[in-house]
Amino acid sequence: EDQVTQSPEALRLQEGESSSLNCSYTVSGLRGLFWYRQDPGKGPEFLFTLYSAGEEKEKERLKATLTKKESFLHITAPKPEDSATYLCAAQRGYQKVTFGTGTKLQVIP
Amino acid sequence: DAGITQSPRYKITETGRQVTLMCHQTWSHSYMFWYRQDLGHGLRLIYYSAAADITDKGEVPDGYVVSRSKTENFPLTLESATRSQTSVYFCASLGGLNTEAFFGQGTRLTVV
């Protein structure tokens, strides 16, 4: 059975304090690893797709990396507007996507 | 406006009633999905559709029915609502295989 586990469940950072979110997955035949951001009361918003181990992608203060067993979302010098829940999802087919339960990030000014 | 929209945003219904959640996308994406999101669970797939008139069950389909007569619309019907169906429902679409999903803003459904 496909499994995606995110840690920590919640993370509180001071503005400017860098950290990483973890996404561990057990999916045979991974086609893609997705990161989404979800704000309260809204739908998930796409951030990154990673397709193979060793791949990295960056967007502003966010950088996503992928190994054969896990993915990390690194947040450098976060700002309060980065506060959100971050979801990762592992895909092995367009209809076979397993989502983690998310990491709720709070960045305090 | 281009995008994917869900209606209603909020709905309260009684146990046993039928309720339909609407989803409309303007991109002409082939693939559409319905997920539910509950505390302690990741998004779970209810039903999906690869094209008009083609639908299939996801992980948690019991108690739900879908149809897709037009590419842009993908309604989800709860035939006889139960309290366990209280949840936030998201519709999503894919532009192509193995690409990212675009989500609607969600419908918060409460069954009393």
The SS3 call for residue A62 is: strand
CATH number at residue A56: 2.60.40.10
Residues 68-87 of A with CB under 8 A from B: 87
Other Cβ atoms less than 10 A from the Cβ of B71: the count is: 17
Number of independent structural domains in chain B: 1
- Chain B residue with minimum CA distance to A44: B103
Contacts of A4 in chain B (CB under 8 A): 42
Q: Which residues contact B13 (CB under 8 A, 6 or more apart)?
A: B19, B78, B81, B109, B110, B111, B112
Structural domain boundaries enclosing B17: 4-111
Number of independent structural domains in chain A: 1
Nearest chain B CA: its distance from A66 CA (Å):
16
Q: What is the mean pLDDT of each run of 10 residues along chain A (109 residues)?
A: 95 98 94 96 96 96 97 98 97 88 97
CATH number at residue B76: 2.60.40.10
pLDDT digit string, tens, across residues B12-65:
999 999 999 999 999 989 999 999 999 988 899 999 999 999 999 999 999 999
Provide the sign of the torsion angle of the four alpha carbons A29, A96, B30, B10, taken in this order. Answer: negative
As a residue count, chain B comes to 112
Residue B35 tokens read as: 């997920």
Mean pLDDT of chain B: 95
Nearest chain A CA: its distance from B12 CA (Å):
16
